[in-house]
């Protein structure tokens, strides 16, 4: 996890939603995919970024109160996608394995069904996924009554267009 890169660039709000908004994570993914495409990113980079941010959106929606906001901030060196929620507590970030993620630990081999279930559990892997997909270019920023989770993407080939085209997809209102 990297330290947050500060920037004076004003963020573009892509999507806002409330705690009871049905389908908000899917809508957030669609809006982000469209925005990154408009910025000139390619398919694999878009897919990785959308999956990483989707994990941050899911964590915010599940573990924090709304309202929620997803933003893009363009700097001279990168595009930063931010997900803000209404809980200032930074989650405990698990230790990231030095080896391949989700590889069985030798000491746990032969542990029976409990060890297998723990390895294959669907919970507790989200931030590991974010770490892998962003190569460590992500983190949290705490504010007084909120926190922001963020991922940083290197600029696409040719840089970012001067204007982020919100007219084609940025959703500003989201349902509450």
Tokens of 58: 């899911």
pLDDT, residue 28, reads: 93
Helix/strand/coil percent split, the chain, to 5: 30, 20, 50
Give the mean model confidence (pLDDT) for residues 154-175: 55
Confidence at residue 153, expressed as pLDDT on a 0 to 100 scale: 95
Q: Which residue has the higher pLDDT, 63 or 151?
A: 151
Rounded to whole angstroms, the maximal C-alpha distance in the chain is 57
pLDDT digits (tens, 9 = 90+) for 64-105: 988 999 999 998 889 999 999 999 999 887 776 665 555 656
Look-up: residue for tokens 């030095």? 98
Beta strands in 18-146 (DSSP E): 68-74, 78-85, 138-142
Nearest to 37 by CA among 57, 21, 14: 14
Q: What are the tokens at 52?
A: 């990483």
Contact status, residue 17 vs residue 174, Cβ threshold 8 Å: yes
What φ, ψ does residue 83 adopt, rounded to 5°?
A: -125, 115
Q: How does residue 165 score in pLDDT terms, banded at 50, 70 and 90?
A: very low
In this prediction, residue 139 carries a pLDDT of 94
Lowest mean pLDDT among 3-17, 23-37, 45-59, 78-92: 3-17
């Amino acid at each position: 996890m990297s330290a947050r890169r500060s920037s004076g660039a004003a963020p573009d709000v892509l999507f806002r939603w409330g705690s009871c908004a049905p389908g908000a994570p899917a809508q957030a993914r669609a809006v982000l995919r469209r925005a990154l495409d408009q910025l000139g990113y390619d398919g694999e980079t878009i897919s990785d970024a959308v999956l990483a941010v989707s994990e941050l959106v899911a964590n915010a929606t599940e573990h924090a109160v709304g309202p929620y906001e997803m933003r893009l901030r363009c700097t001279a060196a990168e595009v930063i996608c931010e997900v803000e929620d209404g809980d200032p507590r930074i989650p405990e970030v698990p230790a990231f394995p030095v080896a391949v993620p989700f590889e069985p630990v030798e000491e746990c081999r032969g542990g029976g069904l409990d060890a297998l279930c723990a390895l294959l559990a669907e919970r507790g892997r989200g931030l590991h996924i974010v770490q892998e997909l962003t190569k460590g270019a992500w983190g949290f920023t705490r504010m007084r009554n909120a926190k922001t989770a963020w991922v940083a993407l290197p600029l696409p080939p040719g840089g970012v267009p001067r204007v982020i085209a919100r007219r084609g997809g940025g959703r500003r209102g989201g349902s509450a």
